[in-house]
Amino acid sequence: AASRRKPTPKDETMASPCPSSDESCSNQELQGLFAGMPVQIRRSETKGRYLVAARDVEEGELLLVDQVYACAVLPSHKKRVCNGCFEVGKKRLEISCRECGQVFYCSDTCRNQHWDGNGDSAKWCVPHSRLCKTLKHFASSKCDNEMENVLRMMLEVIARREKEEEEHAVKVTGPSGATPWAGADLVKKFQGCRLKTPEESALTEMMDGLDSESNGRESSDTPSTSAVPSDEFTPEVYEFVNALPVLKYGEFCSLQSHAKGFSKVDMQDWNKPLKFLLRSMRLSEWSSDCLPNVSIALELGSRIDSNCFGMYSNRGKREDCFGREVYLRISYVNHSCDPNARVTGGKGTAGVVAERLIRKGEEINISYFDSNVPVSTRQKYLRKHYHFSCACSRCAAEMTARKPARLSYSKSARNSAPVRPAPVPSPQERIDSRLQARIAAARARIVEE
């Protein structure tokens, strides 16, 4: 059984500075993270930091895009998901890291690029060579599937900080270590960013299916992206993302942590896994400057656990979460059970898209999970996993109504309550049936031609 003793900084000898979300970055510094995007960051006593539209934003328009800060495949799926490109294989992958045996790949190219941190993901990817010795100890891990996934992402965050210090790449704008404002040219770059048309999406789906079949991966009917059936982004989106400054550890520490409010049961759940991680890091000779104590590690773990998004593949009619990832910019978008925006993309690049017209100054909201369940279930889930209760207009109406309107639940919502981890809304439920019909018609025309 886990120790009932509350972890303190004395549990480990070295401590790494991790400022609180209130101390880490000012609003002005954080606004620089959204340079070129039609959003502004605000702060209130009740909501904390949140985003509003900087101008009127039309339905279907991109509000912001982001590159992943930390990501990890769930241990239960590690032998079927490539750690280089995050493609999901139809069967067990044969190529793995020869040193640790904890990560698998679809090709030698992905393995070599992931080891060195080269290739398309070089800008945001943590080279596996920095994590390999520590991950080797994970073969003896007794953590559950979700906790080990969080530990792996924690390892990536700590490795990023170590890399920053080694390269002396922290461009300080103040004591927080936040990244300076990006150039005004990003405004022009973002103006060209958009989602693909139905015809473009159908063509991409078709080409991905042909490529998947030739490489033995999942077909286009069973995509491996985290939020949509196919890649919705145009090349201009990736060009913009590549022009964004790489976010630093100081910005990660601006995310909300709930560690101070953990119950004794929560502390017991975290205590042993964190000590396992720190022991593994010491045995693999990490720099003492980057080795956190248990209390600091708890703060890191809470930030990741409360701000991660799921990566999904569709297996028939069932969605399968195979990993989780953290996007720092998107994490500033608050939850609503009646959202005006949605998250799209994944596997390195994600964005927030307006679901309806959003007026200038209006708060931007997404749903952290499938909200097609009764209000009592939603509130219980939010309190347990995100430590707050939703006060949106939908929840208020359903809680005060004498005879709540009968909800039309989706099949997935009827069969199961929201299952963690699943912060990203179900993509199939987000796509309008008319859009599906247009995609099918476009695919038919392409095949005919």
Q: What is the mean pLDDT of residues 40-69?
A: 92
Residue 253 inside a domain? The answer is yes
- pTM summary value: 0.76
Residue 258 inside a domain? The answer is yes
- Per-residue pLDDT, 72: 95
- Please determine, for residue 196, whether its predicted confidence score (pLDDT) is greater than 50: yes
- Per-residue pLDDT, 202: 67
- Per-residue pLDDT, 204: 62
Distance in angstroms (rounded) separating the CA atoms of residues 199 and 207: 12
Among the ranges given (53-67, 87-101, 193-207, 230-244), the one the predictor scored with the smallest mean pLDDT: 193-207
Residue 368 inside a domain? The answer is no
Among the ranges given (11-25, 79-93, 268-282, 365-379), the one the predictor scored with the smallest mean pLDDT: 11-25
Among the ranges given (18-27, 182-191, 333-342), the one the predictor scored with the smallest mean pLDDT: 18-27
- Per-residue pLDDT, 115: 93
Residue 431 inside a domain? The answer is no
Say which residue, 83 or 428, is predicted with more confidence.
83
Q: What is the mean pLDDT of residues 228-236?
A: 66
**For residue 351, what are the β-bridge partners?**
65, 344
By the 10 Å C-beta count (0-12 exposed, 13-18 middle, 19+ buried), 332 is classed as buried
Q: What is the mean pLDDT of residues 363-383?
A: 91
Distance in angstroms (rounded) separating the CA atoms of residues 118 and 37: 28
Q: What is the mean pLDDT of residues 57-64?
A: 94
Query: Which ranges in 284-426 belong to alpha helices (H)?
Result: 294-306, 375-385, 393-400, 411-415
Show the tokens assigned to 342: 């949605």
Among the ranges given (41-50, 174-183, 375-384), the one the predictor scored with the smallest mean pLDDT: 174-183
pLDDT in tens, 252-302: 998 989 898 888 999 999 999 999 999 999 999 888 888 899 999 999 999
Residue 175 inside a domain? The answer is yes
Distance in angstroms (rounded) separating the CA atoms of residues 114 and 121: 9
Q: How confident is the model at residue 247 (pLDDT cuts 50, 70, 90)?
A: confident
pLDDT in tens, 344-362: 888 889 999 999 999 999 9
Q: How many domains does the chain have?
A: 1
Residue 380 inside a domain? The answer is no
Among the ranges given (88-97, 246-255, 296-305, 402-411), the one the predictor scored with the smallest mean pLDDT: 402-411
Give the sign of the dihedral formed by CA 183, CA 189, CA 191, CA 195: negative
Among the ranges given (133-137, 149-153, 311-315, 344-348), the one the predictor scored with the smallest mean pLDDT: 311-315
Residues in the chain: 449
Q: What is the mean pLDDT of residues 32-43?
A: 90
Residue 290 inside a domain? The answer is yes
By the 10 Å C-beta count (0-12 exposed, 13-18 middle, 19+ buried), 4 is classed as exposed
Average pLDDT score over the chain: 78
Residue 19 inside a domain? The answer is yes
- Per-residue pLDDT, 3: 32
Domain that holds residue 97: 9-354
